[in-house]
Amino acid sequence: MANSAQKRLDAISKQLGAAAATSYADAPVFETKSSPKADDAFLPPVQQVAPALTVPRAKDKVVIVTGANSLLGIGRASAYEFAHAGARAIYLCDAVDDHLAAQQRDLQARCPAVDVHLRCFDAADEAAVKAVVADALRQYARLDVFFANAGIVGPQVAFGDVDAAAFMQTLRVNTLGPFLAAKHAAPAMQQTSPAKPAPGGSIVLTASVAGLRSNAGATPYSASKAAVVSLAQTLAFQLAGSGIRINAVCPGIVETAMTAPTFAAARARGTIARVGQLNPTRRAAHSDEVARVVLFLASDEASYVNGQAWAVDGGLSAGHPFVPGKLS
């Protein structure tokens, strides 16, 4: 029986070998050390699924950015990236508006072709989120990008000292806000018009390295940002086949209005060099470094990036050691 089985295996191997030889006999061979240089006639074209890099990444797109008021923030830096990348319109949104008008004037002076709109509302207010999305559709008949960036740091105390109301407020802003952004942006992005014949768009949520690894933030903040990562992963499947992509960007330590006290304290103590010491890049990030990743995720160049959490942390999450004590 063993001999019979071996014969059958030999026969199958012979048939497969003959079939392979027949199938590939006339196929061109590319870039092998022993073969002659391939004829140009056999070179297959590179299939491009996004505009060439000479086309601005945000050309003609209508963009909503929440958490845009901070002068040092990722929201403001991202709005500038979208404007310089050819956006048609940008909505600057925040619960506080003391810097929005100045940003509007600056953006319009730098990029006159971009319409800049201001909206002051709580990112976790569903009626307000729905209204800004509706306004984009009314004015431009399209919505292409929603960058849900609004967030708060929450209580910075030991978890046993966290008040339940403060915990829920952190989740309300940091997690409910992005959920509402996705809930109302998704159907708007599926609407088509002569200027946008195919449905689709990109939703980018601001999470944090604290949502990926432990010991990178207080408990309420870390929990809220881990939930944002889960939102991006789960909603990517909820939106399957819609042409809408959703991703989370996970910054490490960045000097913004939210982290300003940490940086100020470090400068006062003369320990600013210690900020960012736990990542291999050995420094904190600039908001623009995160904003450029946001622009990429929102662009057609990221057409196959979906449901991902992109760490922009100088390598912190690659190892993330436990080091007791303050980062500054």
In this prediction, residue 264 carries a pLDDT of 87
At 138, give phi and psi (nearest 5°): -65, -40
List of residues 6+ apart from 176 with CB closer than 8 A: 124
Q: Is 221 one of the annotated active-site residues of the chain?
A: yes
Task: Note the pLDDT of residue 136.
Answer: 98
Tokens of 131: 């209204």
Cβ-based burial of 289 (10 A; exposed 0-12, middle 13-18, buried ≥19)? middle
| Cα–Cα nearest to 147, from 100, 205, 188, 90 | 205
Which residues in the chain come in under a pLDDT of 50?
Answer: 18-30, 328
pLDDT of amino acid 24: 42
Q: In DSSP terms, which residues pair with 285 in a beta bridge?
A: 254
Closest CA to 300 of 245, 248, 233, 241: 245
Supply the pLDDT for residue 273.
80
Residues β-bridged to residue 309: 248
| Active-site residue, selected from the candidate residues 80, 91, 140, 221 | 221
pLDDT confidence of residue 304: 97
CA pair distance 302, 180, nearest whole angstrom: 23
Q: Are 75 and 149 in contact (CB under 8 A)?
A: yes
Q: Which architecture characterizes domain 62-257+286-313 according to CATH?
A: 3-Layer(aba) Sandwich (3.40)
Query: Dihedral through CA 70, CA 250, CA 314, CA 216, nearest 10?
Result: 90
Q: What DSSP character marks residue 327? A: -
Numbers of helices and strands, H then E, in the chain: 10, 7
Do the Cβ atoms of 254 and 206 come closer than 8 Å? Answer: no
DSSP designation for 91: E
Evaluate whether 194 touches 140 at the Cβ level (below 8 Å): no
